[in-house]
Amino acid sequence: MKPLIAPSLLSADFLELGKAIHMINQSEADWIHCDVMDGRFVPNISFGLPVIRAIKKLAQKPLDVHLMIVEPERYIAAFHDAGADMLSIHIEASIHAHRSLQQIRSLGMKAGIVLNPHTALSLLEYIVEEVDYILLMSVNPGFGGQQFIEHSYRKISELKEMLIGRGSQALIEVDGGVDVENAAKLVRHGADILVAGNAIFSADNPQEIIHQLKNCHTS
């Protein structure tokens, strides 16, 4: 199976956000990954609701909104109204993750749970049924362009095994340090969705990188 590709706008030129979205619209990408950071859960601030609303006006692909914020439950309805199609929250930031995931789904969005690199898969034990996808961070969240953490391969394999054992259809999304070098190996280990920021937006031909990521399993 070809992976789903979700370019992360965090690495786009914010002065040319419209052009970046247009490029993604014309590409083989499947989703548009939007990183929302609050300067509290992560040591960086990115963009929030008004920017998501603007992106939604141009986007012809679903918006995959990754919340790196404390108390994400306070903003679930607001991100739905702003145009999120998929909404993921960090398990480390969610005291009532189970309830929040149910709320995300009840609004008609796909629900995702995110795990930091150090967070154990066992925390998923009682919420697997409530999620449409699990996002494994393969860098510490907060910044684009960081180096991929090698233990992520083992974590993906173990998660895949867990999902198969549970009869779950949840997809595995991998975020951080993904590029054309490691994409095929990630897919072989069980990744279904690849997020890539720096690899795409620092390239001379971003659409070509998206094409290579999309077709990585055959190369």
Name the nearest CA neighbour of 58 among 20, 85, 30, 86. 20
Of 43 and 161, the one with the shorter C-beta distance to ligand DX5 is 43
Of 146 and 215, the one with the shorter C-beta distance to ligand DX5 is 146
Q: Which of 30, 38, 175, 192 is catalytic?
A: 175
Give the amino acid at 1: M
Asked if 13 is an active-site residue, the reply is no
Return all residues near 73 (Cβ < 8 A) that are at least 6 apart.
89, 94, 96, 99, 100, 103
Q: Which of residues 90-129 bind ligand DX5 (CB under 6 A)?
A: none
Among 48, 141, 190, 206, the residue binding ligand DX5 under the rule CB under 6 A is 141
Q: Does 132 bind Zn ion (CB under 5 A)?
A: no
Among 112, 177, 190, 206, the residue binding ligand DX5 under the rule CB under 6 A is 177
Rounded to 10 degrees, what is the CA torsion of 140, 146, 150, 156?
60
Q: Is 173 helix (H, G, I), strand (E, B) or coil?
A: strand
On the 0-12 / 13-18 / 19+ scale of CB atoms within 10 A, 151 is exposed
Q: Does 10 bind ligand DX5 (CB under 6 A)?
A: yes
The HSE-up count of residue 73 (CA atoms within 13 Å, CB side) is: 14
198 interface partner picked from Zn ion, ligand DX5, none, CB below 5 to 8 A per type: ligand DX5
Shortest distance (Å) from residue 195 CB to ligand DX5 = 5
Of 104 and 180, the one with the shorter C-beta distance to ligand DX5 is 180
Contacts with Zn ion by CB under 5 A: the residue count is 3
Footprint of Zn ion on this chain (CB under 5 A)?
35, 66, 175
